[in-house]
Amino acid sequence: MRALPYTTAILVALAGAAFSISAQAAAVKTEHVEAELVSEANALVSGADNSLALRIAPQKGWHVYWRNPGDSGIPTSISWTLPEGAAASDLQWPYPHRETLGDIVNYGYSEEVLLPVTLSLAPGLTADAPLVLKAKAKWLVCKDLCVPGSADLELSLPVVANSAATAINEDHRAGFAKARNELPQPAPADWTLNFQVYDSGSQKDFALAVRRGAITSDGEVSFFPYAGDLIGHSAAPRWAKDADGSLRLSQTLSDYYTKAPDKVDGVLVVHDGDRDKAWEISAKPGKVALVPVSAAKPAEETPPAAAPSPNYLLVLLLAVLGGVVLNLMPCVFPVLSIKAISLVEARGATAARQRAHALFYTAGVLLTFAGLAGLLLVLRGSGSVIGWGFQLQQPAFVAALAYLFFAMGLSLSGVVEFGTRLMGVGQSLVGSGGYRASFFTGVLAVAVASPCTAPFMGTALGYALAQPAAVAISVFLALGFGLALPFLAIGFFPFLAKALPRPGAWMETFKQFMAFPLYLTALWLIWVLGGLTDRNGMTVALLGLLLIAFALWLWKRTGLVSGALKLAAIAAALALLASPMMTKIAATHVAAQGVGYEPYSEARLAELRAEGRTVFVNFTADWCITCKVNERVALASDAVKNAFAERKVVWLEGDWTREDPLITRTLEHFGRSGVPLYLVYAGAAEPTVLPQLLTPEMVVAALPPAVQAPNP
């Protein structure tokens, strides 16, 4: 009888060896991730809780996500297929780490992590053969791009009647110990946990207080809420310890915050080297003093910005080329029509005067580009997630442009004359000064160039917005120089101007004809406005156009009544820009539903990629002329439609007509500052980025070949 323990030991050892072989065979290596099911012991105990874990090991430089992924991402998940008598708990989550990419902060794990699971077996459960546990794990792994992944996992273990017949699995002893140490513990019973939300026009902060807490460490403090829309994840937490040992933490509210919750749950971590402590907390509303910025631990001194990379000169060249090509894009045509009139009128001027006109036009372009770049950088620095063309996401600005182009069209049609010579829209603003007119024509050219993105521009602007302010503005100025370059060349090389026709009586007919592109532009802007607001907003804008027409009709009339009417009509038209109808934007924007495509979301994209589907992603906007041309010329072609149907392509459309921080971050991820952006995903492979100007052949060539059915 005394031999029984030795027999048991041998059986346990053999079971342990079998387990090790099984565990090694069960590990699944996928792109950038290794995953497997592991057990803390080498056997399962019936009638007891058993410690298992999903082991996730990302490739170096990559990370997977916590239960709240932060600014973007998808939490790791697992679904089980278990034999009768077995039940698995939800995943348990060791506290995460902040994973930073630019101004995006995610919560997750960049090193191997064990996500514990408790497996309960019914009492008396026995098995003649090892118990087979099956599960499907899904994750999103990210670096500078994100790849969804999944694996079918399996683990076979013997079942024993009591824990005396088990032994610790040495291969994963350290991993389970680390996971257990990093699991948040329940907050001590003597803690009083309160939170307060400060949500006013000038202040948007969250404050958390742990009172009567015995937190002795002076290490850094982190708070990871379970809700994803409470705090700004990229904002640095501020903390302070009061004299009574209480801890207060403050952090900026999320852009998606709507109202104060009934309670706030999450994980509070005090970092203290190898002795980090994490507590799971649930705070109730209460009065909490904010931690001011000055009280927070000072950030490490930021090193001086690195000198521009060798690619800087190439980016400047691309920006200049993009500006030149921008002159050929449809959104700039209306302003070029005005500039064409001024060039023909100035044909007989002296060389010095022609050069001056060219320089004033260039100055208008460059100063406006610099101002636009500065405004964009300031807004982004304050936390706004915006990109190229952001002004056309503002209803009042769009309406103002529509008014301006409509008034210019009426002027060219002869309804009213601004000044003695029409050399550009500048005369409508400052009188008859020709140089000033050229300057303001340059200003207007930049204002209306935003709907278009020419080739080379996307790379240049995407680079610029990731650089220090001086470098960014220099790239914008290079783009403006390219836009002005054709007219600068005509001004400085008189032989180019000789190719222009001589002024004559035909000019009046030509001028009136050129009014129609301006009317068409105003019509298009009203259509864009309808997408930004609704039918009421469009109607209000049309009423504004009517008032503008009435005011201009009265322009040459004299007398007290007509003067009062002129002022009243113009004032009413301008007042409509601030009307609530004009500034109304729906809280959520549902992408237009059409045959063949779905609204874009990161979750839907990850789901389709995990299924191995081919996905075409179109990031577009109603005000993006380049986008609309591509959609008509390429995406609506029979060749593309047939290829999508044949190859079972799923079309996702990201609508950036209104501000959408998630789409903006995706654009930045691919080095773009605006739309269009076209991506082709073939399952889990890295996406193919298509050019900004499409042909049907380009789209079809980017798709993976159709899978041929096997011959019968």
Mean pLDDT value across the chain: 75
Domains held by the chain: number = 4
Residue 267 is classified by DSSP as: E
Query: Is 307 domain-assigned?
Result: no
Last residue of a domain, one of 183, 204, 221: 183
Q: How far apart are CA 76 and CA 54, in angstroms?
A: 10
Last residue of a domain, one of 156, 183, 210: 183
Closest CA to 449 of 564, 308, 617, 333: 333
What is the pLDDT, as a whole number, of residue 51?
94
pLDDT, one tens digit per residue, over 530-549 is 766 766 677 777 877 777 77
Residues 157 and 98 in one domain: yes
Q: How far apart are CA 657 and CA 588, in angstroms?
A: 12
Query: Is 101 domain-assigned?
Result: yes
What is the pLDDT, as a whole number, of residue 638?
86
- By the 8 A CB rule, do 621 and 600 touch? no
Per-residue pLDDT at 482 exceeds 70: yes
412 vs 440, more confident: 440
388 vs 201, more confident: 201
Query: Is 708 domain-assigned?
Result: no
185 vs 415, more confident: 185
What is the pLDDT, as a whole number, of residue 335?
63
Last residue of a domain, one of 583, 609, 625: 583
Residues 177 and 190 in one domain: no
pLDDT grade, residue 71 (50/70/90)?
confident
Q: What is the mean pLDDT of residues 331-341?
A: 61
Query: Is 306 domain-assigned?
Result: no
Q: What is the dihedral of CA 311, 314, 318, 320, to 10 degrees?
A: 120
Tell me the residue range of the domain where 139 lies.
Answer: 4-183
pLDDT, one tens digit per residue, over 663-700 is 887 887 787 777 789 999 988 788 999 988 888 999 99
- SS3 of 671, please? coil
pLDDT grade, residue 292 (50/70/90)?
confident
Beta bridge partners of 153: 135
Per-residue pLDDT at 418 exceeds 80: no
Q: How far apart are CA 237 and CA 222, in angstroms?
A: 7
pLDDT, one tens digit per residue, over 266-286 is 999 988 766 788 999 999 999
pLDDT, one tens digit per residue, over 612-628 is 899 999 998 876 767 87
Beta bridge partners of 653: 599, 618
List the structure tokens of 199.
């949500």
Residues 135 and 216 in one domain: no
CATH number of the structural domain spanning residue 82: 2.60.40.1250
Position 438, amino acid:
S
pLDDT over 70 percentage in the chain: 69
Residues 385 and 254 in one domain: no
- SS3 of 530, please? helix
Query: Is 232 domain-assigned?
Result: yes
pLDDT, one tens digit per residue, over 219-266 is 788 899 999 889 988 888 888 887 777 888 999 988 778 788 899 999
List the structure tokens of 67.
């239960």
Q: What is the mean pLDDT of residues 590-611?
A: 72
pLDDT grade, residue 307 (50/70/90)?
very low
pLDDT, one tens digit per residue, over 446-460 is 766 655 554 555 556
pLDDT, one tens digit per residue, over 126-158 is 777 889 999 999 988 887 667 778 899 999 999
pLDDT grade, residue 9 (50/70/90)?
very low
- SS3 of 39, please? strand
Residues 66 and 16 in one domain: yes
Would you say the pTM of this structure is higher than 0.75?
A: no
Query: Is 201 domain-assigned?
Result: yes
pLDDT grade, residue 119 (50/70/90)?
very high
696 vs 423, more confident: 696
